[in-house]
Amino acid sequence: MKITEHIEKAKGKTLFSFEIIPPMKGRNIQELYDNIDPLMEFNPPFIDVTTSREEYVYIDRDGLLDKKLTRMRPGTVGICASIKHKYDIDTVPHVLCGGFTREETEYLLIDCHYLGIDNVMALRGDAMREEKYFEPTKGGHVYALDLVKQIRDLNRGKYLHDVIETDDCAHFCIGVAGYPEKHLEAPSLKSDLIRLKEKVDAGAEYVVTQMFFDNQKYFDFVTAARSMGIEVPIIPGIKPIAVKRHLQLLPQVFRIDLPQDLIDAVDACTNNKQVRQVGIEWCAAQSNELKAAGVPVLHYYSMGKSDNIKAIAEQVF
Binding region for ligand FAD (CB under 6 A):
50-51, 53, 94, 96, 121, 123-126, 143-145, 177, 183, 185-186, 192, 195, 208, 210, 237
Q: How far is the CB of 112 from ligand FAD (least distance, A)?
A: 15
Which residue, 215 or 275, has its beta carbon nearer to ligand FAD?
Answer: 215
Which residue, 121 or 258, has its beta carbon nearer to ligand FAD?
Answer: 121
Pick the catalytic residue from 8, 19, 55, 231.
19
Which residue, 145 or 170, has its beta carbon nearer to ligand FAD?
Answer: 145
Q: How far is the CB of 277 from ligand FAD (least distance, A)?
A: 26
* Nearest C-alpha neighbor of 16 from the set 50, 35, 40, 51: 40
Which residue, 122 or 275, has its beta carbon nearer to ligand FAD?
Answer: 122
The answer to whether the beta carbons of residues 6 and 48 sit under 8 Å apart is: no
The answer to whether the beta carbons of residues 215 and 244 sit under 8 Å apart is: no
Q: How far is the CB of 110 from ligand FAD (least distance, A)?
A: 20
Which residue, 158 or 195, has its beta carbon nearer to ligand FAD?
Answer: 195
19 is a catalytic site residue? yes
Alpha carbons 297 and 60: distance in angstroms, whole number: 47
Q: How far is the CB of 130 from ligand FAD (least distance, A)?
A: 14
Q: How far is the CB of 67 from ligand FAD (least distance, A)?
A: 21
Q: How far is the CB of 207 from ligand FAD (least distance, A)?
A: 8
Q: Residue type at 232?
A: V
Which residue, 142 or 269, has its beta carbon nearer to ligand FAD?
Answer: 142
- Residue 23 CA neighbour count, 13 Å, CB half: 14
- Count of residues in the chain: 317
Q: Mind telling me the catalytic residues?
A: 19
